[in-house]
Chains A and B, each alone.
Chain A
């Protein structure tokens, strides 16, 4: 039990370091869009999701509707449903509903990937360990970014806001290199997004992401359905 917690903490340390710097960028972006430091930290502590938060603050800044916020978060974070489902197949037998309710809070891309790729069943203690250090890094990084936004030179802040997008690129390019169909969905979605930005500027950034993502994924799912035996990268 205690050993599993320590294993989780160890597995979480590289995730924490990565999150520190990426959420630093989020903190800067949030303050630049007019949110307070406390609001930025509150978002990170309660959401723990890079893409969802980045879209969420644009909805807040544009005074979008709550429906837009819900739809936006649903579409962007839908992958966590699949990850949660997939992870639920690998849980240890002592994983009670209570632990499921608590630990589902911290399922992120990185935590999922690390937890699911270990050869052994996932225990609640492991999940608490990996989630606590990762969420700590995510929240502290946001605070530093949001607070230091006033201290750092303007050009440096401007460049740091690239970090989050740099991470997105680092997530999508390696699978696109291996899988032509992933490349197609990425190019289609980016092309739609550029088109909406310039041809239909009335569509808000949040809805634009939803439209682009759903349209391009549906088209690719119809054109290139996946076989069951294909792995994560397949």
Chain B
């Protein structure tokens, strides 16, 4: 299947998800369960996407693990997203040069 079809489906789905509540839906969500679910969902998604995939990003587990550790430490100290992302990558690169 052509990548264009996938991209179109992806774009339309993502747009509708953003557009419908912003434009059409003007009622307040009351269900405590749904509100809680929506609150937890993004964290769960990001976590599932990151682990264990992050350990396979660089091609060797050692540099990826050190990069992951760097990201965890910097994120723990509330550094900005971009600083965490860059330092994690740089650390993994530095380690990979010695392997």
**Closest A-chain residue to B20, C-beta based?**
A81
B2 to chain A, nearest CB (A): 10
Smallest distance from the beta carbon of B36 to chain A beta carbons, Å? 4
Query: Within the assembled complex, what's the spacing in Å between the Cα atoms of A155 and B92?
Result: 9
Contact B41 A78 (CB under 8 A): yes
User: Are A213 and B45 in contact, with the CB atoms below 8 A?
Assistant: yes
> A77 to B36, alpha carbons, bound, how many Å?
16
Q: How close is B62's CB to chain A, nearest CB, in angstroms? A: 12
Determine the residue in chain A with the shortest Cβ distance to B94. A159
The residues of B with any CB-CB pair to A shorter than 8 Å are: 1, 3-7, 9-11, 13-15, 17-23, 25-26, 29, 32-54, 57-59, 63-64, 67-68, 71-72, 74-76, 78-90, 92-93, 96-97
Main secondary structure of the interface of B (DSSP, over half): helix
Identify the interface centre among B5, B25, B53, B74: most chain A CB within 10 Å of its CB.
B53
Chain B residues within 8 Å of A46, by CB:
7, 10-11, 14
Docked Cα-Cα span, A57 to B96, in Å, equals: 26
**Which of A43, A51, A161, A226 is close to B46, meaning CB atoms less than 8 Å apart?**
A51
Interface Cβ pair total, 8 Å cutoff: 292
Tell yes or no: A74 within 8 A of B by CB. yes
Q: A214 to B91: give the CA distance in the assembly, Å.
A: 33
Contacts known (A60-B3, A159-B89, A169-B84); A205 close to B32, Cβ less than 8 A: no
The binding surface of chain A is classed by DSSP as helix
Whether the pair B84, A85 counts as a contact (CB closer than 8 A) is no
Of B14, B39, B50, B82, which one neighbours A165 at CB under 8 angstroms? B50
Which chain A residues have a beta carbon within 8 Å of chain B's beta carbons?
17-18, 21-22, 25, 35-36, 39, 42-43, 46-49, 51-56, 59-60, 63, 66, 69-70, 73-82, 84-85, 87-88, 97, 100-101, 103-105, 107, 109, 155-156, 158-177, 181-182, 185-190, 192-194, 197, 205, 208-209, 212-214, 216-218, 220-222, 224-226, 228
